[in-house]
Copies of this chain bind each other. A is one copy, B any other.
Amino acid sequence: MPDRAEIIARYSAVRASTEKLCAPLQTEDYVVQPMTDASPPRWHIAHVTWFFEQFVLGKFVPNYEPFHPQYGFLFNSYYNLVGERTERPKRGFLTRPTVKEIYAFRHEIDVRMRALLETCDGATLAELLPILEVGLNHEQQHQELLVTDIKYILFQTPLYPAYLPSEEFSASKATQSGEWSSYEGGVAEFGHQGNGFAFDNELPRHEQLLRPFQLADDLVSNGQYLEFIEDGAYTRPEFWLSDGWDLANLQGWQAPLYWLQQNDVWRTHTLYGLRDLNLSEPVTHVSYYEADAFARWAGKRLPTEFEWECAVAKRTSKSAECPDTLHPQFSGGDGLHSIGQTWEWTQSSYLPYPGYRPPAGAIGEYNGKFMVNQMVLRGGSVATPAAHSRPTYRNFWHCDKRWQFTGIRLAEDA
Which chain B positions have C-beta within 8 A of A237? 80-81
Pick from A203-211, A226-234, A381-389 the stretch touching chain B: A203-211
Whether the pair B372, A243 counts as a contact (CB closer than 8 A) is yes
Whether the pair A26, B96 counts as a contact (CB closer than 8 A) is yes
Q: List 26 A-B contacts (CB under 8 A).
A: A26-B95, A27-B28, A28-B28, A28-B98, A31-B31, A31-B95, A32-B32, A34-B93, A70-B159, A80-B237, A81-B237, A81-B238, A90-B156, A93-B153, A93-B156, A94-B157, A95-B156, A187-B187, A211-B355, A242-B369, A243-B370, A243-B372, A244-B372, A292-B372, A355-B413, A373-B373
Instruction: Give the residues from 169 to 210 in chain A that come closer than 8 angstroms, CB to CB, to chain B.
Output: 187, 206-209
Which chain B positions have C-beta within 8 A of A73? 158
Cβ-based interface call for A47 (8 A) = no
Q: Which residue of B lies closest to A28 (CB)?
A: B95
Instruction: Give the residues from 12 to 39 in chain A that come closer than 8 angstroms, CB to CB, to chain B.
Output: 26-34
Cβ-based interface call for A408 (8 A) = no
Cβ-based interface call for A130 (8 A) = no
Whether the pair B241, A95 counts as a contact (CB closer than 8 A) is no
> In the complex where A30-B28, A98-B26, A159-B97 touch, is A373 in contact with B243 (Cβ < 8 A)?
yes
A residues sitting closer than 8 Å to B (CB atoms) are 26-34, 42, 70, 73-74, 78, 80-81, 90, 92-99, 153-154, 156-159, 161, 187, 206-209, 211, 237-238, 240-245, 288-289, 292, 347-349, 351-352, 354-355, 365, 369-373, 399, 413
Residue of A31, A92, A211, A347 contacting most chain B CB atoms (<10 Å):
A31
Whether the pair B96, A241 counts as a contact (CB closer than 8 A) is no
Copies in the complex: 4
CA distance A80 to B244 in the complex (A): 13
| Minimum Cβ distance to chain B for residue A363 (Å) | 12
| Minimum Cβ distance to chain B for residue A95 (Å) | 4
Whether the pair B238, A209 counts as a contact (CB closer than 8 A) is no
The A interface is mostly helix, strand or loop, or mixed, namely mixed
Which chain B positions have C-beta within 8 A of A207? 209, 211
Which chain B positions have C-beta within 8 A of A98? 26-28
Which chain B positions have C-beta within 8 A of A157? 74, 94-96
CA distance A348 to B352 in the complex (A): 10
Which chain B positions have C-beta within 8 A of A238? 80-81
Q: A32-B92, A242-B370 are in contact. List 7 more A-B contacts (CB 8 A).
A: A33-B93, A74-B157, A95-B154, A97-B159, A207-B209, A242-B369, A289-B372
Which chain B positions have C-beta within 8 A of A78? 242
CA distance A251 to B95 in the complex (A): 24
Which chain B positions have C-beta within 8 A of A208? 209
Which chain B positions have C-beta within 8 A of A348? 351
CA distance A372 to B288 in the complex (A): 10
CA distance A31 to B97 in the complex (A): 14
Whether the pair A32, B95 counts as a contact (CB closer than 8 A) is yes
Which chain B positions have C-beta within 8 A of A347? 351-352
CA distance A193 to B221 in the complex (A): 40
| Minimum Cβ distance to chain B for residue A60 (Å) | 23
